[in-house]
Structures are given as structure tokens and as C-alpha cells.
Amino acid sequence: MSWSIEQAKQIVQAINDPNTLWIGEHPPEGIAHADNRQALQHLGRESGLLIYNAFSGFDPDAFGAVSGTLTGGGLLLLLTPSLDQWAEYGDPEAERITVANYELPRPSHFFTRLAKLLETEPTIARTTVEGLKAAQTAIPSNQPVPVSTDPSCLTEDQSNAVEAIIHVVKGHGRRPLVLSSDRGRGKSSALGIAAARLIEAGYQRILVTASRQAAVESLFSMAANELGMEAHGVELHHQQGVIEYVAPDRLIQEKPRGDLLLVDEAAAIPTPVLIKLLEHYPRIAFATTVHGYEGSGLGFNHRFKKHLDQQRPQWREIQLKTPIRWAMDDPLEQLVFRMLALDAEPTQIEPEQSLESDQFCVTFPDQKQLMEDEQQLQQFFGLLVLAHYRTTPRDLWHLLDGPNLQPVVVTHNQQIIAVALLASEGEFSAELAEQIWLGRRRPRGHLLAQSLAAHLGLRTASTLKGLRIMRIAVHPALQSRGIGQQLLKAIQNYARNQAYDYLGVSYGAETRLIRFWQANGMKAVRIGVHPGASSSQQSVMHIQALSTSGKSMLSQARTSYSRQLPALLAEPLSQLPADLLIPLLKEIEFPPLSNLTEQQWLDAVAYAFGNRAYDYTQGIIKTLTLSSIADGLLNESDEHLLIKRVLQKQSWSECATALNLSGKRATDDRIRTILRKAILHYADSATAELIRRIKD
């Protein structure tokens, strides 16, 4: 290591580039430097010389980000152990993928693959203590780039993008714009230039959002430069106007007004969130990176553009192809793409292709097999990227070296058409299980086992052997053909054969996903009380018992969950959409209504068939509501009303607005009508006789 560091320092001194950036430990004095966790702060900046010290730890996300700061003609120095020894090197960043109870593989599959790529790459020079091995392929000379006539824009692509963004505001409403490109094409700068020009033109408020605030720093820097100001934070005031950053969740909750909403790095934001923004803001522009380190535009293309086609058919897309800092077909950009699988894509399949269930094969390759077959790896990772909105290069490392992971592949004619990634969990000692139950320990990488103990209070749950479905994806051209169900059946059989106690999954709540897991034998046992950091959605956990111990645990989990869910709906889940809750409530087993007392029936009848006040009969109304929904007694509109008012305790005015009712009186009358139906269905003979007398 010391030899590599000294060589790099000599090169830094010899080149003497003022825009030098050193990532990792042991930087020379007087130059800009950062560790991997600070690397993202350098996005939007330029470097002529970049040194990445992999001895300090190779973080794929950080490396992918800072490599994009290099300008044309710049130099990247990647300091690594000897390539034939890198896979055995104990990388300091490996703690990010460590899992309690499991050892990381040695040699590392991830670094074996990287070393092989670097060893065979003809466009790079390699220097070791034995000497220099020059590049075998000459780097092409600079290519002419179409120059923009706009003084603020560096390329014609960027100038066209600025004009298109401004047209979103000045043209017809509800015609969204999508800017898409690989990184380094000036999308964020185009957003900033356009925002500044709109403020100069007299528009008062431009809203900016992204998955994280740091992602828009370059946008605000460019906007400030266009306005002749200094950028301080993520809010710019000029004349009577303002450009300000607002987090996605705050946009949804508060719905601030603005002349335009700019969504940067849209691929890193969950599709349900993007849909809500699209519904509320008539003038909106999205920027997304096709092959990015922070979420893939491929998934954005598949999921969100379908919604645009349906809801905003006059939306427009502009692709920026010309790089800002380097030439087209830059060999370094192409190498980084290959190293981090940034350009991984699933195989091309025509939607009309016929496929019978007996024509595909489900296999469980180990990670070494996946690493050794680059084509298979690209197709596997490409499907994960397509199906999950936030897949990063670090996920590639996790896929290849995660010590508790098992890939699953579905192939047809040697093409991957579906994949899954499984994680083994649990099997802790009784002593550690108790510490987890008490909330004193949180072993890394055991999401289900830890949650069953800490959230549901199951003291010994983490001693069981669990298998979690981390990810599952079917090729979009072949969805709704039963492939997902067949894949899940294969996983269930695998789990039984490997003597797992239970199979489980945790995911961001969507109605279609809830119904999918329920239809395939999985029982809900938990819903998160806070939106997940990665999905901005409440997480839902499902379990399927596979052993006697698993069945006992699931029974306890379901009992705990059945008590928790109704109590959580008033707070903190009071704003969760009713269509998410209906399938969850319908599978809960509530106590039989035969246990109701005579007085409870009298209270119910007095409200539904008389004029008894709602406030004094809420207890029995809630009981009847839960049973009616669980038994499928009501239509969807009635279910929505009872969930909102009775279970979530939303205000009378909120409920009236949501159900298009005239006000509190009409809403109360509607609930009485619904309850009459429920009482007549469930009533015992004495209650039925009482109702007949009242009606007479």
C-alpha cells in the first residue's frame, strides 16, 4: 500500500492540477480530499486529477459518483492491492454488507470480477512495483461537440432542455416534461438555468424536489450563477421570486403552490410518490439518469412512463446525449459502467411471446456461478434494476458477496425471465434472542427475525430459521402470466427442503402487492408505523409457516398483529389509504360477535335504528365495522367510509369530502344505514325481534 500511495503523491506533485480530488486516506497536504461517505458532496464539481484510494475501502456508490467529476483529458488513479490479491484483501467498506452469524466469502466474488475486468481492459495503464504496463488501445482524440448558441449552456442538448422546461410553464398545463440521459449530460444544470430564467421573467415560486437535499446542490449552484448570486443552501430569493427545495413527503402533505415543480433524480423516488406529485402539480418536469449510481432510470421508464401514457398522454421527453465534461464514447465512462454494471439490462423479450409453465426452469445458482457468467449476471442485475426503483452499484457487491444470500433464476431458452434474491435469517441463541426482544441488540442483516421479536414481542422468534425474500422480479414483457407464482412455489419448496421454519417478505405497501402475497399463502403480521426511508411507504411484513415451530410463531404473530392493527389506524396510520387497509383487515380473525353483551346490541340498535349519538356508541360501531369488513359484507365505498371515520377517526368534513357527501349529517346518516345492514346480518333472535318492534 505504501508504495502505491507514494507513487500517487509523486504524480499529484508532477501534474499539479488545482482541481485534484483525493478519495480515501493519506492525501497529500493542500489538495481537496474526502472519504467515501463524503464523496457525494463533490457531485456537480469538476476534477482534472482524481485519486481513489481503494486501500481505504472501495465503495461502489462513491466510486461511481466521483468518477463522473473528471473532465475531458483528466486522469483517474485507482489505487488497489495487486489485482491477483485484491479478492483476498479485507476491504474496510465490507462492513456495509456484513451479516451477523455469517462470514463474508473469501475470495470476494465482487473483487474477483473487478480485478478480471481491470486486468483485461485494453484502455488502461497498470503500474506495479515490477513496472508499468501501458494501455494497449489508444484513447481517441477529442471529438467535435455541437456548441450551443446559448451562453449559459455548454451543449445544444442542454439549450434545448432549458427551452423545453420553460415551455412547461408558458405552454398548456398538464403536459409534463421528462429529461433523461446518462450522468454528466447537464440535466441538473438545465433545471437550474431554466428556474433562474423563469424567476427573472417574473414568476414567483419554483419548487424543487429530489430524494435527498444534497442531490439538488448543483441545480441551485447553476441557478445562483445564472442570477448573478451566491448559492447558500437550497433556497434562492431574487426580486419577488423564490426557488426553493421541498422534500417529496412535504410536497404531498402540505401541497405548497408553485408555478413549476422540478423533480431531479426522479428515478430515486418511489413511483407512488411521483404519481401523487403528478396528480397535484399541473406544471412539472422530471429529470432522470438512465444508468445512475443512485437509482435506475430503467425502472423509471418501465413503471412511471406507463402512468404518464395513461394519465398525461401529451407528455414530452427530451434525451440529452452529449457529455458536458468528456467526449462521446469516453473509454473511462464505459469502463465504470462495466465495473459497476450501471448498464445492466434484462434480455430483450417481445410481449407477445408465448410461454407455457413447463417451458421454463427454476435454478438456485451460488454467487460464484453468477459471478463467472457475465451475461447471466448482467441479465440478473438488470431485472433487479428494472423492478426496483432504487438499485445502486453497492447492491451489485451485496448480490455477489452477501454472506447469507441465495440467488434464484428462472430461465426460458437460456434467457433469464424472472429472478429472486433470498436471505437466511435468525438461528440466534436464546440469550441473544432475549436481548433482541428487549430492544438492546439489533443484529445486522436479520430484518424479519429482529422485527418479529422487537415489534411483535415474540421473545423466541429470532431463534427460528427464517428465509426472507429480499427481491423478486418478473420480466415486464411476461408479467401476469403466472411466472411469479411459479417462482414463489419453487422458493417455498426450496425453503421446506432446507428445513427453514418460515418464509417471509417485507416490502413497501401497495394494494396489488398485498393481494399477491396473500394469494400465495403469506399472512400479514406487521405494518410499519412510519414510511420507510427507501420507499416512502409503510412496510408490510408477511410470513408463511413451514414447520411446527414456525406455525406456533405465526399464530402468536397473528394474534399480536390482530390486536395492533385496529389500534394503529387512529394514530399513526390515520392517513393510510383505505384500499391498502381493506385486504389487510379482511384476513384478520376478530372475536365472534356471539360474545357481544345484550347492552352492546342495544347500543348498536339505538344508533343505527334510532337517534343515539355516534360519540356514545363508538365502541360497538368499531366492533361491527371490523367484522363487516373482515367478512366481506360491505361494498367498497361503504368500507372506505367506515375505515376513514370509525377506524382512522378522520374528521366528519374529511370523510364527507372523500366520499362526495354534503356534510356531517349526510355522513352520519350514511354510517347509520351501513350499520343497519350489518346488524341485520349478525343479530341474534332477541335483537332481531327488537328491530322488528322498532320498525313497526
Neighbours of 193 (CB within 10 A): 26
Helix (H, G, I), strand (E, B) or coil at 99: coil
CA nearest neighbour of 683 among 619, 610, 600, 589 = 600
Instruction: Enumerate domains of the chain plus CATH numbers.
Output: 2-133 (3.40.50.11040), 156-319 (3.40.50.300), 359-586 (3.40.630.30), 593-695 (1.20.120.890)
Query: Whose grid coordinates read 449476471?
Result: 377
Q: What pLDDT score was predicted for residue 391?
A: 83
Neighbours of 349 (CB within 10 A): 17
CA nearest neighbour of 274 among 357, 389, 105, 417 = 389
Ranges in the chain, pLDDT < 70 = 44, 137-147, 292-299, 352-354, 356-358, 389, 533-536
Name the CA dihedral angle for 599, 603, 606, 611, rounded to a multiple of 10 degrees. 140
Instruction: Provide the total of helices (H) and of strands (E) in the chain, helices listed first.
Output: 25, 20
Q: Which residues, other chains included, contact 346 with Cβ-Cβ below 8 Å and sequence gap of 6+?
A: 379, 382, 383, 386, 416, 475
Cα 504 versus chain centre, distance? 19
How far apart (Å, rounded) are the C-alpha atoms in residues 522 and 510? 15
Cα 568 versus chain centre, distance? 24
Decide: 211 and 248 in contact? Cβ < 8 Å.
yes
Query: For residue 462, what is its C-alpha cell?
Result: 429470532
Long-range contacts of 614-617 (CB under 8 A, 24+ apart): 614/668, 614/671
AA identity, residue 260: L
Q: What is the DSSP letter of 80?
A: -
Global pTM reads 0.90
How far apart (Å, rounded) are the C-alpha atoms in residues 665 and 269? 40
Q: What pLDDT score was predicted for residue 328?
A: 85
How far apart (Å, rounded) are the C-alpha atoms in residues 522 and 186? 46
AA identity, residue 342: L
Calculate Rg over the CA atoms of the chain: 29
In 3-state terms the chain splits into helix, strand, coil percentages (rounded to 5) of 50, 15, 35
How far apart (Å, rounded) are the C-alpha atoms in residues 551 and 548? 5
DSSP 443-491: -TT-HHHHHHHHTT--TTGGGSEEEEEEEEEE-GGGTTSSHHHHHHHHH
CA atoms within 13 A on the CB side of 516: 22
Q: What pLDDT score was predicted for residue 132?
A: 78
CA atoms within 13 A on the CB side of 420: 24
